[in-house]
Amino acid sequence: MALPKTSQKFNASINAFTIGTGDQTVTLGGENVLPFYTFDAPIENAPKIGVEISDRGMENNVPGIRDYYAGAEDFRELARRASAIPGVDFVAFSLDAADPNGEDRSVEECAEECRQVAEGTDLPLVIIGSKGIEKNEVLFDRIADALAGRNVLLMSAKEENYKTIAASAGLAYNQKIGAESAVDINLAKQLNVVISQMGVKPTSIAMNVGAAAAGYGFEYVVSTMERVKMAALSQNDNMLQMPIVTPVASEAWNVKEALVSEEDIPEWGPMEERGIEMEIVTAAACLASGSNAVILRHPASIAAISEMIRELV
Amino acid sequence: MALKGLDIFKLTPKTNCKKCGVPTCMAFSMKVAQGSLPLEKCPFITDEVKDQLSEATAPPMKTIKVGEHSLGGETVLERHEKTFVSKTLYAMKVSAAFDDAKNDDILAKVPAVDYDRIGERMYCEFVFVEAADGENNRFLDLVKKAAALDRDLILSCTDPNLAKEALALCTGKNVILIGANAGNYEAMNAAANTAKVVLGVSGQSLEELHDTVASLEKIGNKNLILNTTGASVKDAFRNTVEVRRGALKGGDRTFGYPSLVDVAALSHGDAHMEAAYASLFTAKYGSIVVLTEMDYAKALPLYGLRQNIFTDPQKPMKVDPGIYPLNGADENSICMITVDFALTYFIVSGEIERSGVPVNLLISDAGGYSVLTAWAAGKFSASSIAKFIADYNIEDKIKNRILVLPGKVAVLKGEVQEKLPNWQVLVGTNEAVEIIRFLKDMQN
């Protein structure tokens, strides 16, 4: 008896989206099948992995991360070490200290740090903005200028601040824009529409459709990603064909499972291992649901996820 | 798949004899199709036709029962289309090919992970016992040890005689016997039938798996599980997706069975790869996922993932209402109140824990809705809050009289204050991420 023919090779495809310059570029998307469905059609650009480093340095991390960066004196060295981790495709610099409700580091300082990171690595760059929605407008403007010509991805523009960010970083400096929405396909589409209407090319936009750690409302992440991919591929919705970039590290390392010490709950075992597995399980599920790239922190998680991608694509 | 009246009509005698109580065979067929009359009302329908019809009306994927567990029975490929019904179950693997120390270590760890997460028991449901060439006695010994544990069993062997011996050691246990293939399926089927256990089928290729399942169905066994583990992760992923998709999208009932993926075999002893692949096959169509070890590091994220993916989209996840003392809070610590939506609870309690400030988190019964939804539905109101404080004897249990409301329901402040005159009612933050700062500011 013949096998049922159920191939899901679609006529539409996800946009090919490139960051970086010269021979150090990374391209996300381009596929016309569901995640890892290489048996339906070849996937030219395998999902990619970014390594997250923070403007606070890496000392406030578990030993496996802290030790890896130990002795790094400046952001150049931090970036150089980050890009040397096997399996890393791009470096994501997170401006945690810029948070206006926290340290509120100045825009000039942040721009200078970004410049140093760019000097430390040739890999493509992603800049993860602060928690301050208004501050990011100025921050991204200055950083887009400081990193002119590097073709970086700025994450993220939201409903409240996309206008300034699209106009300056997107149009004036020709950088790539990350459009961030919170686990809702309609909001994701709406944001892509309005950013495009400002003149930013759809192929210059990537999406962060929302992230969560496994166990923390992750069903919304799965369903949003699956619906976005279905609409993009089966209905050829070109306002949802942007590739998805998911910052996993900031979610995975901030839940109880990764933060509670072994002394507090001895049966849970070593804290570092819990954080690594949380990062791996969350990243694998994101990739299976539709992420074209994940941003991770621990070298061990990066090793595992890059092996998984190699095995599957 | 709904059967049309016309399809049923073709199977009736078309004599309009009225013995069924309906004037014509056509009218009878329409009523059967609607479900308002049972097919048995027609005395001329043969058993053969009945089977044919029940086959046609059967769901695309069978539900296979193993003890108290259900596997399969899915109707959609993506959870948002309707809901997934049977969650992925996990097994820990011992093997006659492993050394004794390793097997003993794994068996000892089986009961270690067993906890409750939002009303669901999280534990490793199965022990998977694998045979190896020339190691029959060690295999039987392992079966004995595994059977002594309070877990269901999966026995993996391809020798029907050995299978019989092993099954004889498992009386009273719920067992899946896997190892039927193109070469041995008749004898394995006999062994499974005698012991009344579910049979697992493997194939060198999808085609071979399909043919073997078809052969087993022909000799009457429809109590099956498909081993979709391939030589590589890529093969396993393809097999698992094609089997599920073939059944649900291709309408091929031969593939309409639950799947088993031996992730342990695919990750070559690497715990991190096991976690990655277990996550992959929990997200995509693994009914049973086999690992060498389920420790807390793996269990916490995997069971959380599973609970999320297999939650019914129409039924919000709820935590039990009550007092949750955080950071060593006691009767003198302040109270913060919110709703019983599990996600709200997790995020709010997580932020409070990170602040390090002792807080009694009060979870009120709000139907499992988020703050604004519950407020809009009248399930989180001044009266419901006052009722909660009274019903749970909060005033007896806690001496502190500061009550913080979620910022999103700031409008309730006046009314709550009126109903709870002994309390100092404060308005908290709009977003959970601001809680740490809010609590720190309050302390100063």
- ipTM associated with this complex: 0.97
A303 touches chain B (CB under 8 A): yes
List the structure tokens of A228: 């976005």
Under 8 Å CB pairs connecting chains A and B tally to 170
B343 touches chain A (CB under 8 A): yes
pLDDT tier at B299, thresholds 50, 70, 90: very high
Q: State the pLDDT at residue B394.
A: 94
Cβ within 8 Å, pair B250-A5: yes
Residue at token pair 């093997």: B95
**Residue B422 CB-half CA count within 13 A:** 10
**pLDDT less than 50: residues of chain A:** none
Segment B372-412, tens digit of pLDDT: 999 999 999 999 999 999 999 999 999 999 999 999 999 99
B434 touches chain A (CB under 8 A): yes
Cβ within 8 Å, pair A304-B307: no
**Residue B383 CB-half CA count within 13 A:** 3
Q: State the pLDDT at residue B52.
A: 75
Nearest to A28 by CA among A205, A209, A179, A249: A205
A285 touches chain B (CB under 8 A): yes
Q: What is the dihedral of CA B47, B53, B56, B59, to 10 degrees?
A: -80
Segment A218-270, tens digit of pLDDT: 999 999 999 999 999 999 999 999 999 999 999 999 998 999 899 989 999 99
B242 touches chain A (CB under 8 A): yes
B319 touches chain A (CB under 8 A): no
Q: State the pLDDT at residue B12.
A: 86
**Chain A from 237 to 276: CB within 8 A of any B CB:** 254-257, 259, 267-270, 273-274, 276
CA distances from A56 to A5, A83, A114, A308 (A): 53, 18, 13, 30
Segment B195-239, tens digit of pLDDT: 999 999 999 999 999 999 999 999 999 999 999 999 999 999 999
pLDDT tier at B34, thresholds 50, 70, 90: confident
CA distances from B172 to B69, B167, B339 (A): 15, 10, 44
The average confidence (pLDDT) of chain B is 93
What CA–CA distance (Å, rounded) separates B340 from B178? Answer: 43
What CA–CA distance (Å, rounded) separates A205 from A244? Answer: 10
Q: State the pLDDT at residue B10.
A: 85
Cβ within 8 Å, pair A3-B237: no
What CA–CA distance (Å, rounded) separates A186 from A192? Answer: 10
* Residue environment code for B208-238, b if the CB has 16+ CB neighbours within 10 A, otherwise e: ebbbbbebbeeeebebbbbbbbbeebbbbbb
Cβ within 8 Å, pair B112-A267: yes
